[in-house]
Structure 1
Amino acid sequence: MAVCWPALGLSAAIGVWALAVALFDVPEIIAQSPADVLDAFLGVPGYLLGEALTTLIVIVAGFALAVAAGLVIGVAIAASRIVELMFAPLLVAFNAVPKVALAPLLVVWMGFGQQPKVVMALLVCFFPVVLSVAQGLTSTPVELAELARSLRTSRTQTFLRFRFPGALPQIFVGLKVAMPLAAVGAVIGEFSAGDEGLGFVIVQSGANSDTALAFAAVALLGVMSVALFYALVLAERLLLPWVRETTSQR
């Protein structure tokens, strides 16, 4: 039953899309009907799936690096008030910088290839991870802190047994925000520094006025992002079963 509602929502969206294209007689150069987009995908399925795999590798690599760096910096900010005061404003300022503006610089520094695309994905999705880690670690429930003190645990034991497990629900919130952003960053990187990937397909299709193929690439990117997001949701449910049992989630 849980799958039926998303399928119904998708069907409704596709129906509205097809109806709007037909009723308003939208020119093909602007938008294609769902049937035309499907035909474009079926015309070159191997090509699009191969480019999707390239983009998927960039997304996963950038996201993994963002998680690793975010954990380290988030723990440092949560552990030291001085570190927070010194570097938190810099992180906020850096997050405000439009990442598109950095794409040409990444090409100059790293050249064409996978590296600038992975770094772009990292930069776009990095901040939510840091924020969720720091916020989760500084929001340890009072009862857990009192339990740690009563057991006279060391600072390391307190972190591993109480603070970090208690922060995991908040951390997963940040991860679920960061995952779609990693896809956005990967595509931005492919716009600027790529000769492969779904972002490159979108740019080339737009340049060649092949709107149907561009829409097919966008739709495939959306499907891939949804799959990655729900993979994180599944991981959260498997790793943190106690969250659903102790909260009023529907």
Structure 2
Amino acid sequence: MAHYLRAYQKTHTNELATAQVDGAVTLAGTPPDGDVLDAPCGAGRHSRALAASGHHVTGVDSSQDMLDAARAVHAPAGVQWVRADYRDLPFRAGTFDTVLNLFTSFGFCGDDGDQAVLDEFQRVLRPGGRLVMDTTHRDRVISELAAKNRTDVAGQAGETTWDVHSGWMHMSLLDRTDGHRSVSRIRVYTPSELDRMLVRAGFREVSVFGGLDGRPLGRRTRLVVVAA
């Protein structure tokens, strides 16, 4: 966890988190004092920004270390931290006005597990509520890997490979400060694949954008999905 937080602490500012959640709740049409689920919440930067703007926020993460990091930073009133797997959320149906899934936090559970995540997001939303997902997509990954497959983030050297047959992206990150290497993988979906999964979960209206500011989707943009 320490390596993850160090890699992004300079770029993941409070100002950026505020701009991102402002864009997300605008796309979702969230009421000014609405109930919002941030899943997974990580170290809580988006949850704190949501609470600061007046929302009632529940931040969910399966990592106790991440939740401890979230609790270690002063948060405005209105934030609740919950440890849970987002494939099996401990909330009643229709609890939230909005569900946010931000910063490429989807695709880690395999096709069936990822479908279960979307099923749960739909279940805990109130009628008329919306899910906002901010992630990457296949065309963007392929475009970036065509140019280079190495990155350097805060002293951590990264290498990424793409399996065209399975749709899995494999990432390896080496921290130059202590030699620690972390390995992860994520299933990267196309917009049409994700659309079908959302419809299967029970969502009725699905819109796609290229960012939380509502820009059009393109080959090199992010993928932002709004599902009602």
TM-score range, shorter chain: under 0.3
Give 1 or 2: higher helix fraction.
1
TM-score of the aligned structures, taking structure 2 as reference length: 0.22
Higher RCO by CA contacts (8 Å cutoff, separation 6 or greater): 1
* Larger Rg, first or second structure (1 or 2): 1
TM, length-normalised to structure 1: 0.20
Higher strand content, 1 or 2: 2
